[in-house]
A = this chain, B = another copy of it.
Amino acid sequence: MSDPVVAAKKDAGIRAANMVEDGMIVGLGTGSTVFFAMERLGERIKTEGLRILGVPTSNQTAMRAEEYGIPLTTLTLHPVLDLAIDGADQVDPKKQMIKGRGAAHLREKVVADAAKQFVVVIDSGKEVTGLDAAVPIEVLPFAYGSVAKKLRELGGEPVMREGVKKDGPVISDNGNYVVDCAFGAIADPAGLEAAINRIPGVLGNGIFAAMTAKTVVIVGGKR
């Protein structure tokens, strides 16, 4: 735990987990910082008798929840979540974000949207003055060609995310492609988020600019 980045992630995760109150329905994001939060939630369940139900955003998170002893539920039974905890790849001063390096951002946006409060846990390396990372976009495989063309018309440079231990494209947990689309510095994240969503065949995109009002950002190791 001497690695300062790991320490910061763990700190952020623990602080988020400590915000959870008894009886809450909690959205559980995907990625290493979130797993620190989930580990802490598991401890609180055992030691404090904390009663919560989690809604996982990925197969990986569901498996981890089971390891940590966090009981799971679904949005069908609980369409409103009290709080969601998730990481991010870039966060700007207005709490606008880019997510999706782990290809779980479609379900992550659903869960964040369903939550009353969205708690984002990051280390300081994710803080930026302006968003400029390539935007991960989940695309219906059938529509890849026409979506790529429309993204170019929006000024982007779409690149199919290729698998490493799988020939051909990475496939999301939902069975779709992921396109990483660089736009350079993004002047208007909310506008770009909406413009990308208007393309038929786009199923979700990694810009989170429409839920800043309910977002709390916790930067690990920083108060």
Binding site for B on A (CB under 8 A): 30-31, 58-63, 66, 71-80, 101-104, 106-107, 109-110, 112-114, 140-149, 161-175, 178, 194, 197-201, 203-204, 210
Contact = CB atoms under 8 A, between A and B. Distances in A.
A59 B141 contact: yes
A146 B75 contact: yes
B167 A175 contact: no
Nearest to A29: B167
Contacts of A110: 140, 142-143, 146-147, 200-201
A59 B169 contact: yes
Given A75-B146, A79-B146, A79-B149, A104 B59 contact: no
Closest 8 CB pairs of A and B: A60-B168, A102-B167, A164-B164, A75-B145, A79-B145, A171-B171, A76-B145, A175-B175
A77 B71 contact: no
A103 B167 contact: yes
A103 B170 CA distance: 11
A108 to B, nearest CB: 9
A143 B31 CA distance: 20
Nearest to A106: B140
Contacts of A141: 59
A131 to B, nearest CB: 19
B142 A75 contact: yes
A204 B62 CA distance: 24
